[in-house]
Structure 1
Amino acid sequence: MSQNSKKDTKRRKLLGFGFIPELSEHYFLVTIPTSRAKGADVLISEHFEWREPGKDKQIDISLNDENAQVKVIVRRGLWDEIAEETKAEFNRRLRSLGVKTGKWLKAGQVPVERSLGKELVLLAWAIEDCDPVLISTAVRNWLGLAPEERWWLYTMTNASTGHAVNGRGKGWRKAVRFALTENPISDTALKRRRDEFNLSFLGRNGSYSLFDSTG
């Protein structure tokens, strides 16, 4: 990203993790319940139109509205296991672009830039029905994938089993769970994959930007 682009991005309203409504209204939304119970539902939805919520009101989400569709529902206990790792990964990427980092709320709604949102949903699909002891393996294998691999897996899975309820435990969704919860990637391989991504997408001059992505 050029210095002028960075300055322009900083002047725009940035919400959550890298979401800038002026650049694209396509985003994902994480809705975190007020309940701290491990069985409470955390919902991740995909949106194609930005509507500023009123005071003390939440953005509408639905299981069937394609413009505000819930893609995955995970129990709070599972969400808590991936929250810090996903925050760290997304903020590492945002810092590399010179833009404001984000954080998950204890309760409420957090917008996520569309490319990062796809990656988040992919990980959530992998853990939604897995044995909790395998979550750390899923996170590690997810980190071992280059972002463009995560986007591709999301696209393929979403096309056939992307409905939060009807697609659960089927086809690509089931395959993603097995792929990410088995055979943890090594530290060396993880570092190599991350370095390869930084060189190929960011370039030595930091030319790549999430905000130029059509993904």
Structure 2
Amino acid sequence: MSGTTGFGAPTEFGMHHFYVEIPASQREAICIYEDFGFDGDEARREMVECRLVLARELWNKIRDDARRDFNARLKTKKQSAGSWTIGRVKLDRFLGRELCVLGWAAEHATPDECLVISQKWLALRPEERWWLYSKTASEAGQDSQSDRGWRKALYCALSDGLSIKLGHKQKPKTKEKSEQQDTLPLFDFIEKGDI
């Protein structure tokens, strides 16, 4: 049996896992990546996907609940506990999916709403979080797709529902530039008198 690192991530080279990049600067956003590994074929190119860029102040509101939940579950499997440290923190691929669900819900939130989001996320079973991850990742799983379908729905479902506001938010500061997607106005061709 091989060992683990971080939050249950395999130590073997080329294994599927997630990782969180936590910059030393307290103002810089954190990034969550999915590393698909090599799937047993070292000749195959490694594929890494950035799933989320999250403002540091929002990350600071959700990280402790995620850490406690993950460590309690790792303890039941007799694995060592993980902690959020500066640099790259690896996670088991299932825990990484769950963290994405929490982060995607928090990305549209205010810092005050993060408490409610964390509590509702904690109330979900791991299988429910995995299902939410698969639905969201299939249509809006890249870091640049925060204003689409299930990404917005996660915020609506896990926030208090009283002050839902889904206007455009400014992207958090990060070292990498992200591509912006152009959107077309819906039903632009219809004149006011045509309806």
Give the TM interval when normalised to the shorter protein.
Answer: 0.7 to 0.9
Residue correspondence of structure 1 range 1-215 to structure 2 within 5 A: 8=1, 12-22=2-12, 25-37=15-27, 40-49=28-37, 67-105=47-85, 107-165=86-144, 167-182=145-160
Amino acid across the alignment from 2:148: K
Q: Take 1:66 and 1:23, find their aligned partners in 2: how far apart are those partners?
A: 11
Of 167-176 and 18-27, more deviation after overlay is shown by 18-27
Amino acid across the alignment from 2:26: R
Deviation per residue, 1:137-170 (Å, 9 max, x gap): 00000000000000000000000011111x1121
Name the count of aligned residue pairs.
156
Q: Which has the higher helix share?
A: 1
Q: Take 1:182 and 1:82, find their aligned partners in 2: how far apart are those partners?
A: 15
Amino acid across the alignment from 1:125: W
Match of 1:194 in 2: none
Amino acid across the alignment from 2:88: Q
Alpha-carbon shift at residue 20 of structure 1 (Å): 1.1
Deviation per residue, 1:120-153 (Å, 9 max, x gap): 0000000112122110000000000000000000
Judging changes above 3 Å, is the alpha-carbon distance between structure 1 residues 160 and 94 closer, same or farther for their aligned structure 2 residues?
same
Match of 2:188 in 1: none
Alpha-carbon shift at residue 23 of structure 1 (Å): 9.2
Q: Take 1:32 and 1:80, find their aligned partners in 2: how far apart are those partners?
A: 11
Q: Take 2:103 and 2:46, find their aligned partners in 1: how far apart are those partners?
A: 19
Deviation per residue, 1:24-76 (Å, 9 max, x gap): 71100100011012xx11000000117xxxxxxxxxxxxxx981111000011
What secondary structure, in the 3-state scheme, does the structure 1 residue paired with 2:4 have? Answer: coil
Q: Take 1:149 and 1:23, find their aligned partners in 2: how far apart are those partners?
A: 29
Superposed CA RMSD in Å reads 2.0
Amino acid across the alignment from 2:29: D
Contact preservation (8 Å) 2:52, 2:103: yes
Alpha-carbon shift at residue 22 of structure 1 (Å): 3.3
Q: Take 2:34 and 2:133, find their aligned partners in 1: how far apart are those partners?
A: 12
What secondary structure, in the 3-state scheme, does the structure 1 residue paired with 2:19 have? Answer: strand
Q: For structure 2, list consecutive stretches of 5 or more residues without a partner in the other structure.
A: 39-44, 162-195
Judging changes above 3 Å, is the alpha-carbon distance between structure 1 residues 142 and 36 closer, same or farther for their aligned structure 2 residues?
same
What secondary structure, in the 3-state scheme, does the structure 2 residue paired with 1:118 have? Answer: helix
Q: Please give the TM-score of this superposition, normalised by the length of structure 2.
A: 0.75
